[in-house]
Amino acid sequence: MKNWDTLEADATMILNKHFTVGRGGNTINKVVIHHNGGNLSIAGCYSVWQTREASAHYQVESSGRIGQLVWDANTAWHAGNGPANRTSIGIEHADITNSPWWVSEAALDNGAHLTAALCKYYKLGRPRWRKNVFPHRDFYATACPASLSGGQNSAYMKRAQLWYDRMTGKKPSPTPAPTSTDELQEVIDSMKATHIIFNDKDNPDALYIADILGQTYYHVPTPSILHERTVVLQRTGAKVKYWKEFSAARPATNLANKAAFGVEVPFK
């Protein structure tokens, strides 16, 4: 960025179509994170959005260079959801690999810095996942933003918060204990855990184990037959790093509206 405080991008290539002028009287209250599904340049995004009925406000190249393609005051067509589009800024990030999708260090750092700058400029507060910074998949049936809501999410959000603290001159408050399933996911990411064990709300005796990386879950008839690489969940024991009941509200491919009771970590 030429100027983080005024949101002046490195390059400006404003689209002449596939966005809506104004925001219909709405104010900006969030940032929505996307990935390209490819390694696109700013000019590459401009070209794609000339023929595709989609757009985003910013593109972060793998080099870290940032371009603006829709003015913030206008509504970009990025979230696949009208109300979300009218109240958000959309940031696209270039991928450097596709198996898995992954963004470069430069794109992660400058994308996080841009997220922080937007949160400061629009007075959204310190960046917090699913509070004022959201993945595209929360508004549309998609896997976007891939690694930025998965393996790189923790690093991205920590970097965004660090930049925000530096830009505002504020010292971060102590992190409170998680109180939602979304925050539980942050705990899982920070622990590098691979599985979570949980019970069915309607059948407390039924035990399930979820593969965090594979986004799948399995019914476990008896705890004794758990796979040897996992740890049987107990209320006490060094292997259990976190213990709190959560009311889950996540897609069936993740925690399937279950109540999660604890995180388990694989044997070293």
What CATH fold (topology level) applies to the domain 11-168? Lysozyme-like (3.40.80)
Using alpha carbons only, give the angle 215, 219, 220 rounded to the nearest 5 degrees.
Answer: 120
Residue 36 tokens read as 């390209």
The domains of the chain are located at 11-168, 181-264
pLDDT at 252 exceeding the cut of 90: no
Measure the CA–CA gap between 197 and 208, rounded to whole angstroms.
6
pTM above 0.85, yes or no: no
- Read off the pLDDT of residues 199-230 as tens digits, 9 standing for 90 and up: 544 555 555 555 444 444 455 444 433 333 33
Q: Is the pLDDT of residue 99 over 70?
A: yes
Tokens of 90: 């959309």
Cβ proximity of 67 and 45 under 8 Å:
yes
pLDDT computed for residue 207 by the predictor? 54
- Beta-strand pair 97-98/66-68: unpaired
pLDDT digits (tens, 9 = 90+) for 54-89: 999 999 999 999 999 999 999 999 999 999 999 999
